[in-house]
Structure 1
Amino acid sequence: MAPTRAGALFAAVTLALFALVAAVVLTAPYEDPFNVIARLAALWGFLALGIATLLTPFLREILEVFGRSFLSLHHTFAAVGLLLPTLHPVTLAIGAMNPAVFIPVFSPWERFWALAGRPALYLLYIAFAGVLLRRSIPNYWRWVHGLMYVVLLFAIVHGNLIGTDFEDPIIWVLFNALFALSVAAFVLKRWRMMQKKANP
């Protein structure tokens, strides 16, 4: 089944957003290639994860619009959202020759939030593991996978506090709006689940 016009428009907008982010990063005055790669990986990774969460309330609509199952589309964005945020600290560690970027900092409180991307990476993998273990923990895997929203919270705070590219108004508006929409998608999904239980 071929995607509808709405599906093609969504794909075009998505590609445009990735291209826009790349343009902002690549035109910033930074010569260190490790810095550029790390920043692009972080932003693209957040963008992919944000889109993956936005899709979650629309299982039936996705099949109608894209001609593909929700899981195939969701997992595509999730895979990108797993790989690129991993590449972000790996690139920084290689560039600085310092593995400390993988170590979470819990004190003081302000520094924890500034470096919240560090624990977010571990929570990302725990959330991913929840999907792999859904048959082993059928009553809990959704709660574990729901940590993805905590990951997005940690990442957006981290970006706003110390993210170089968040000084650009385009990036600031785009990513904060994406986070707000992700929260809205979470609320909508829970509301639909409640409605379904109330009206089986």
Structure 2
Amino acid sequence: MTLPRAGMLAAAVILALYAITAAVVLAAPYDDPLHVIARLTALWGFLALAIAAILTPFLREIMKVFGRPFLAVHHIFAAVGLLLPTLHPVTLFIASMNPAIFVPVFSPWGRFWALAGRPALYLLYIAFAVVLLRKYIPKYWRWVHGLMYVVLLFAIVHGNLIGHDFENPVIWVLFNTLFALTIAAFVLKRWQKMQKKSGAGRGVGARG
């Protein structure tokens, strides 16, 4: 399917974000290629998850821009956002052969946040799995799927605290801005739901 002009522009912007991220990572001095892969998969995975979250308040607009239903576009980014963050610790494990990479650390408090990417990965799996099980828990799956915002919070804190690439101002500004836009999208989505409920309530009152 040929993308509409707006979709081509949006795709170009998204590809530019991935290209800028890759350029910053590859421009930094490095000795171990596996470390480079680990850094790229972490950053690109965050990009995908953030974009998937930012798109959520714009169901109608997504159809107009990309010429495809919202869920089709959303699920593409969600799938990439599941795969790449999984490859991040796997690559680090291959490089170090240290299974502790997969074990969350809950204390002390500062170390928990520095290594918050570890529990974030498991929360990501839960948030993804509940989508597959949504027909069995129709009333609650959205709440559990909302863990995706916790995943992004853990990931951005983890990156800011110990992420090598966050020392670069381009990465710092780009990824913290993406997280801020994610929070803005979350607030907008909640506001849309409140407006919808309010409108439905007024409609019922008028009919009564």
- Shared fold, TM over 0.5: yes
Q: CA deviation at 1:92?
A: 0.2
% identical equivalent positions = 78
Aligned residue pairs: how many?
200
Q: CA deviation at 1:194?
A: 0.8
Give the TM-score of the pair, scaled to structure 1. Answer: 0.98
Q: Which amino acid aligns with 2:60?
A: R
Q: TM-score, normalised by structure 2?
A: 0.94
Corresponding position of 2:23: 23
Q: Does 1:138 align with 2:176?
A: no
Q: Deviations over 1:86-117 (max 9, x none)?
A: 00000001100111100000000000000000
Q: Give the Å deviation of 1:5.
A: 2.0
Task: Give distance in 1, aligned partners of 2:132 and 2:141.
Answer: 9
Q: How does 1:40-119 map to 2 (within 5 A)?
A: 40-119=40-119
Letter in 2 for 1:10: A
Q: How far does the alpha carbon of each residue in 1:127-186 deviate from its partner, in whole angstroms, 9 at most, with x for none? A: 001111110000000001000000000000000000000000000000000000000000
Q: In the alignment, is residue 188 of structure 1 matched against residue 188 of structure 2? A: yes
Instruction: Give, in angstroms, the shift of residue 3 of structure 1.
Output: 3.1
SS for the counterpart of 2:137 is: coil
Bigger Cα displacement from structure 2, 24-33 vs 163-172: 24-33
- Which whole-Å CA distance do the structure 2 matches of 1:142 and 1:117 have between them? 22
Partner deviation per Cα, 1:13-43 (whole Å, 9 max, x = no partner): 0001101101111111011011000000000
Q: Which runs of 4+ in 1 moved over 6 A?
A: none
The unaligned stretches of length 5 or more in structure 1 are none
What's the RMSD between the two structures over aligned residues? Answer: 0.8
- Give the structure with higher Rg (CA): 2
Unaligned runs of 5+ in 2: 201-208
The equivalent residue for 1:148 is 148
- Secondary structure at the aligned position of 1:199 is classed as helix
* Aligned match of 1:174: 174
1:2, CA displacement in angstroms? 4.3
